[in-house]
């Protein structure tokens, strides 16, 4: 199954994708992570992307589309994937529709107050990208990733002024994707109103939503009724 996880920065989509993908035996593809790897390896893509990312702006569509297209052509994507952070603009979504059919878009619906609190207390593993939160989900050992023992840091784009720009960019350029996928009949919303709700519990809720959508998808009339209810 080909899945898209939508949501503002800090909505939890990356944390849920990293838990659900191994359970479904499909890759978790985060375009943000792909860019960070490219920056670290000082590739041409990394050099082009760095300034946009440091400012909290989007990397131009043509760069991200080319990178994503190459990634999903890999053998490991044949049985599906979870896209986290792509698409982020309508032109990216249109291009993706030309490349492949998406089965479900899950939108993480989280109030702004929770987003801001979460994103400002977030730390990330420099090596594997695992996300932690210094209030609700601390690494077991300070500054060290539970998963790969890498160094856990505050990402440069988590500074307050950059976060504000990322949220503005989300509202202007990415939020319209909610209607784009709703109109295609494949949107499912998952709401989280509780800052302290555990990541594992929320990931279960997201997975349940996906599984029940898959079941309903076998009955096209039921699927249309459910989608219109949202």
CB of 164 to ligand AMP, least distance (A): 12
The string of DSSP codes covering 26-95 is: --EEEHHHHHHHHHHTT-HHHHHHHHHHHHTPPPPHHHHHHHHHHHHTSGGGTT-EEEES---SHHHHHH
Exactly one of 58, 104, 108, 167 binds ligand AMP (CB under 6 A); that residue is: 58
- Site membership for ligand AMP, residue 86 (CB under 6 A): yes
x/- contact string, 152-191, with ligand AMP (CB under 6 A)?
A: -----x--------x-------------------------
C-alpha closest to that of 13 among 212, 199, 221, 215:
199
Q: Which helix (H) or strand (E) element contains residue 211?
A: helix 199-217
| CB-nearer residue toward ligand AMP: 57 or 146 | 57
CB of 66 to ligand AMP, least distance (A): 11
Among 11, 18, 31, 121, binds ligand AMP (CB under 6 A): 31
3-state secondary structure of 187: strand
Please report, as ranges, the residues that interact with ligand AMP according to CB under 6 A.
Answer: 9, 30-32, 35, 52-53, 56-59, 64, 85-88, 92, 157, 166
């Amino acid at each position: 199954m080909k899945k898209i996880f939508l949501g503002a920065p800090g909505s939890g989509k990356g944390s849920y994708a990293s838990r659900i993908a191994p359970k479904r035996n499909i890759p978790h593809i985060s375009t943000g992570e792909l860019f960070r790897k490219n920056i670290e390896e000082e590739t041409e893509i990394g050099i082009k992307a760095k300034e946009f990312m440091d400012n909290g702006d989007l990397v131009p569509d043509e760069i991200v589309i080319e990178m994503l297209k190459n990634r999903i052509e890999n053998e490991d994507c044949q049985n599906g994937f979870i896209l986290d952070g792509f698409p982020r603009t309508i032109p990216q979504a249109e291009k993706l529709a030309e490349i492949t059919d998406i089965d479900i878009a899950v939108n993480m619906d989280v109030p702004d107050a929770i987003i801001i609190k979460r994103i400002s207390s977030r730390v990330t593993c420099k090596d594997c990208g695992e996300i932690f939160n210094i209030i609700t989900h601390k690494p077991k050992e300070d500054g060290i990733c539970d998963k790969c023992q890498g160094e856990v840091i505050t990402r440069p784009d988590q500074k307050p002024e950059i976060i504000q720009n990322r949220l503005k960019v989300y509202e202007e350029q990415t939020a319209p994707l909610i209607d784009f996928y709703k109109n295609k009949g494949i949107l499912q919303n998952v709401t989280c109103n509780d800052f302290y709700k555990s990541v594992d519990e929320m990931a279960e809720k997201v997975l349940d939503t996906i599984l029940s959508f898959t079941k309903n998808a076998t009955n096209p009339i039921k699927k249309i009724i459910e989608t219109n209810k949202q």
